[in-house]
Every structure is written in C-alpha cells, then in structure tokens.
Structure 1
C-alpha cells in the first residue's frame, strides 16, 4: 500500500472565458502535458440560449465526456431514446473516424445548467474507430462514497462507460469539512482536478472555476471541503504515449489518422448537407454518424 504523501499543485488556471463557457484546457497548451486529457470547458448557462447559439460541428480522433454539476439537460436520440442527464449522469461520445454533433442535448427541466465537457485523446488503435455514444442517466451510474465513477474504475467500482482502459474520471461532492482521499491506480501519473462549486482547503486549495494540475506521480491526493463544501471533477491516467496531431476540431495519435479523420469529416459534411433540418420535436439535433 502506498504511503500518504503530499501531492502538490504545480499549476492552476481559471482559463479564458467566452460568454457562458470558460476554456480551462486546450490540446495546444495543458492538453499536451495532461494527455490523454486534452480539452476541458466549464459552462454555466441558460441551456436554451446555449443550444440556440451553438452550431453542429465535427470531431475525429477523440472522445467527449459531458457531466452536469447543477441542473439537467435533455437527450433525444433515435438510437438511444430520450431522457435526462443530471448530476451523476454522463454523455459519452467516441468520435473515432468522424462525427458531426453539437445539438444532441437540449434544455431540460432546469432553467440553468452548469457542468464540464472533457475531451480524451484516443489511443492509436481507436483513433479511427466506429462512432459510439452513450447517454447514461444518474440512476444507472455507480459511486463510491462522495465520488461518482464517470470513467474507469475507482475502489473496485467500474463505470458503465465504454472508455479505453488506463483513465479514471470522477465527479465528487464534499460536504463542508469532509475529508476525502484519492488513491490513483498503478501507473496513473497524470492528475488534475477542476472545481464547479465551493472550495477546497488544506494541502490542496482551490475555488470554483479553477483547474488544478497535480504534480506527476502516483501519490495519493487528500482533499478537504471548504466552508461551503466542494463539487469538482478529478482525472487521473496513464500518460498518452503518442504526440498529438491537431486539426481544427480533431486530435489524433498519428499524422495518418488525422488526414483520414479530416477526410471522413468532409465526406460526412457533404452527406449531412443533403439531409436538411434534422431537429427533433424536443429541439435536439441527433449526432450524425454517417
């Protein structure tokens, strides 16, 4: 068993805001250091307004992970059915060889919604894989104490999300003064967290809106909720072994994969334009997988 040790914060950021969305990490900055975690947005918005302002756009080579920390959103997909994603639930999409999306989630039962969208760089064997998406409601997810297991395994509990091995992503809420210790799996030397609500006190300090990068290593992380508690996401992983090959909407493990992914995206665009308006009665536009 690994001994408890301080795992210092080596970098912190509040990112760059654009309206209701703040970019905390991009593939060209922190994503290069924290891969397979390559992109992180925190959003706090009226969902109807955010959906109206958004556009359908492409991706390849990555997976996207959306979690909600306050409020809920509605999903409406011909293959997955309809329902609500709220705290503890997740939308997972493996873009793989190419996909167009951006409006598959619409306004839910709450006026406002707050949460995170994360991108994961896929391993080379999956960077051009078939598109796969999951909408998993909170009731079908698993948790250990205050930690909902969004991706991977934590303390013997495994998420139903079909993510590549070697990555753990948790959604955690601590009460005021509550102490929680995270022991990363073996070889998970990449680590970070980002706060949605409240604050952390003690060895690791932070407040809502901050992303904290932890020192490289496998030491445990001790976290304590501040006076108003804390809600945050935490990621740990085995480092991604490939250089990042960046397109405008794509991140690939190989240069060849990027060329193929972007070619696939263009072919999908031509097909998508011929389909016209694909909006459903709920206001959602389903992911286009081709």
Structure 2
C-alpha cells in the first residue's frame, strides 16, 4: 500500500540559540509533532549574521538531538568533556538522557551554514539513562547509488534495493529510526519500503517532488507527513529533488515539554528544572 500525503506542516521562520535564523516545521507550535519526532529545524544561510552567534551552552533532558550538516562547520562541546567537529556532510547524534549541557558554535565567519536539527523522543524507561554522544563523519555515512544516477545517504536504519542492503551507522535504538538523505535527478522515480508500524515524513530542501499514488505535488520547506501504508513512492520534478526521509516507531506515551526538557509528567519537568538550577546535571 502506497503512503500518501496525510498532512503538510510548513516551516515557520524563527530563531533559536543566540539568534540563529531557521525554519521550524515539526515543533513550530505546541502539539504539532509526529510521535516520536518532537521537532525539525532547517537552518540555511550565506549571511554570517544569521548564524555566527551559534548556540551557547544550554541543557537538555529526555530525548535525542540529531544535527545533520549539509554545509558548514560547528564545534560541539558538553559538560561531560565531549568535543566534536561537525563538518559538511557529517552528523552529530546526541542522547541527552538524564541531562546534558552543551554548546554548538560555528567555526566559520563567512560562507554557507546549512543543515537540520531533529529531536527524537526517548521512551519513559530510557529518559533518565546516561547521556551519550556520537560524531559521525561524512566518510562513515554509506551512500547507495541509484540506477538513474541519483543516490541515497543512509544515516540511520537501512536502505534495500536490487537485493542489496545498506545499513547506516545508527542502529539499535528503541524507536528504530530511519534517516535517509535522497538526491534525485530530473524526473526520477524512487521507491522505498517503510514498515507500516513506523510514523514517517519527508522534508524537501531542494527542487520539486510529487508523492504517493496517485502522485500529488509536495511543497519545499515543510514536513510532509505520510499516511498509512508500507511503500514510499516519489517522483522528482524537472529540476530534480533533494529531501530527507524520516521514520520511527511511535511511543504512544504522554509528552510534557518545557523548552529543552521533554518528559512524561509535569512533576518530572519540575524535577528537571530543579536539577539543572542546582547543578545536578554536572554529575550526570
């Protein structure tokens, strides 16, 4: 069964950190989420005034953050002593767990800064697990070449075609996330099986795309939520298309969010605030 467009959540222009300009689709308004996805931001600018102030030290608890850098260079540092350079084509996958305080600061004063940040919820049983961090360099992200000349970068989960399976570096997570970056030439078609148990959406960041069966045009810079089914079917327009494909198992748990803290109850949020204010994250 082909997955059709169920909803379109436009990216809303906003800013975060110390004034970094971005577009927020999922998470742009309270309750506008797709379990277990909490938020998706796209940042894209050639003007350093839009990004140079970066994201100074700030806390998180209860979920995972995924930063995918299309262009640019940022430095991650956290209170656990981790430090990593996030460069063009690379990914930072951070599990905030019971608490982390980190910063993400641009290491450039000119040129393009472009990419995505995704927040994925953790199940209640894992929200207070120790924080963790992975830097994934561009050379460690496998790329599957498509018959028509396009390609797929596999960041999380697997991509299978023509009897071959390509596995991304992120595996073994409870929500079984799929994260693909798909590049299609003009008028190319693309299919990928996404298990019906997973919630799924697309985000087109270049070109034009049609989705589903029958095909329906999908806008750029919006979260394109997919309906029931087990097959993604898309076709690029005359200029080709570049998009990310995201899917994961829903948690079906209550979500209580207060800024950078995402828990299951108000009492847990109050505890997170108290722990942060009293420097208990520092011993996570």
Kindly report which structure 2 residues correspond to 1:84-163, keeping only aligned pairs within 5 A, or say none. Answer: 84-87=86-89, 89-103=90-104, 105-108=105-108, 111-145=111-145, 146-155=151-160, 156-161=165-170
Residues 91 and 138 in structure 2, CA contact (< 8 A), matched pair in contact too: yes
Q: Within the alignment, does 1:68 sit opposite 2:80 as a pair? A: no
Partner of 1:170: 180
CA distance in 2, matches of 1:195, 1:253: 31
**2:195 match:** 185
- Kindly state the Cα deviation for residue 147 of structure 1 after the two structures are TM-superposed: 2.0
Q: TM-score, structure 2 length as denominator?
A: 0.81
Q: Give the match's secondary structure for 2:125.
A: coil
Unaligned runs of 5+ in 1: 272-288
Deviation of 1:242 after TM superposition, in Å, equals: 0.8
Higher strand share: 2
RMSD over equivalenced CA pairs, Å: 2.7
Paired with 2:220 and 2:132, the residues of 1 have a C-alpha distance of 32
Question: How does 1:1-290 map onto structure 2 within 5 Å?
Answer: 5-18=1-14, 20-26=21-27, 28-31=30-33, 34-46=34-46, 48-49=48-49, 50-52=51-53, 54-69=55-70, 71-75=71-75, 77=77, 83-87=85-89, 89-103=90-104, 105-108=105-108, 111-145=111-145, 146-155=151-160, 156-161=165-170, 164-165=173-174, 166-185=176-195, 187-188=197-198, 190-201=199-210, 203-215=215-227, 217-255=228-266, 257-268=268-279
Q: Please say which of residues 248-257 and 127-136 is displaced more in the overlay.
A: 248-257
1:102 offset after TM fit, Å? 3.3
Counterpart-to-counterpart distance in 1, 2:122 and 2:260: 14
Could you say if the C-alpha distance between residues 90 and 232 of structure 1 is closer, same or farther in structure 2, counting changes exceeding 3 Å? same
- How far residue 52 of structure 1 moved from its aligned partner, in angstroms, is 1.1
Cα pair distance change 1:45/1:132, threshold 3 Å = same
Supply the distance in 1 between the matched residues of 2:173 and 2:262 (Cα, whole angstroms): 16
Q: Conserved in 2, the CA contact under 8 Å of 1:172 and 1:233?
A: yes
Separation in structure 1 between the aligned mates of residue 68 and residue 14 of structure 2, nearest angstrom: 19
**CA positional deviation for 1:139:** 0.2
Q: What is the Cα deviation at residue 144 of structure 1?
A: 2.9
**Structure 1 residues 76 and 212, CA, compared in 2 at 3 Å: closer, same or farther?**
closer
Q: Cα 1:227–1:108, aligned 2, differ >3 Å: closer, same or farther? A: farther
Structure 1 44/177 Cα, relative in aligned 2: closer, same or farther at 3 Å?
same
**What stretches of structure 2 of length at least 5 have no aligned partner?**
16-20, 146-150
> 173-182 vs 107-116, which deviates more?
107-116
Structure-2 change in CA distance of 1:81 and 1:237 (3 Å): closer
Distance 1:109 1:231 in 2: 26
Q: Are the equivalent residues in 1 in contact too, given 2:100–2:281 (CA < 8 A)?
A: no
Aligned residues: 262
- Whole-Å separation in 1 of the counterparts to 2:13 and 2:101: 24
